[in-house]
Amino acid sequence: MLTLKELLITYNHKYNSIMSTYLSNISETLISGKGDELKKLIESAVNDGANPGEILNQGLLPGMDAVGQKWKDGDMFMPEVLRSAKAMSNSMDYLRPMLKEGDMGNAGTMVIGTVAGDLHDIGKDLAAMMFEGAGYKVINLGIDQPGESFVNAVKEHQPNILGMSALLTTTMPRMGEVINSLKEAGIRDQVTVIIGGAPVTEEYAGEIGADLYAPNAGSAVEITNEFLQQAQ
């Protein structure tokens, strides 16, 4: 007959094995973009006693890291990345009420939006989901946002990162106007500005005084993290 200590060791071993399988399956299912299957898997894990923070930090986040790397390497394409990002977003909607503040990821806070006059949101929303998947708290302002919306959001949320998107050459100048508005408000130095969108270039980012340029949503997180680490 096993002692209490031996019983506890056996139980913990079985529990850890089960949770390890869950977390691995969660990552793989997220990478595959199977949203409905992922939600059921997460629900089962929670019902079997999995910690929501573990599901996020050891299941979902590694999965999104893999998605970003696969996209960068050309092993995944936009529709596949969108499916994975949507599955991540839906999973977070389910997990968020169960997560403690410390479980939510402490990478930082990001405000992101599409500038005034521009109604495009796919790239911006994908970037927002990728940042959330990387552990950032993301405030998504939406499309067609005037400069004062960005300034007010920076004042209110005090983010590490401000992301701006434009898909039209006619709306690109709004990015520079927002940066000037941040300077006028005396808060430009409080936030790292990253811009992106089809017509945007690294040279243009330098011209308007943005800190960073991302050629696509998949690389934005990596570029931002590298910049923040070097700035420390």
Domain boundaries, the chain: 4-102, 106-231
CATH topology match: 4-102 vs 106-231: no
CB 67 within 8 A of CB 76: yes
CATH superfamily assigned to domain 106-231: Cobalamin-binding domain (3.40.50.280)
Binned average pLDDT, 10 residues per bin, the chain of 232 residues = 50 61 92 94 91 86 84 85 87 83 72 95 84 86 96 97 95 97 96 95 97 87 89 76
Which residues in the chain belong to E strands, given as ranges? Answer: 108-115, 136-145, 161-165, 192-196, 212-213
CA-based diameter of the chain, in Å? 78
Third-level CATH fold of 4-102: 1.10.1240
Partnered with residue 161 across adjacent β-strands are 110, 192
Range 107-116 burial, b when 16+ CB lie within 10 A, else e: bbbbbbbbbb
The predicted pLDDT at position 1 comes to 57
Question: Is the sign of the CA dihedral 71, 73, 77, 78 positive or negative?
Answer: positive
Phi, psi for residue 116 in degrees, rounded to 5: -55, 140
Cα separation of 173 and 224, whole Å?
Answer: 22
Q: Which of 217, 208, 112 is nearest to 160 (CA)?
A: 112
The predicted pLDDT at position 2 comes to 46
The predicted pLDDT at position 125 comes to 86
The predicted pLDDT at position 104 comes to 59
The predicted pLDDT at position 146 comes to 96
The predicted pLDDT at position 4 comes to 53
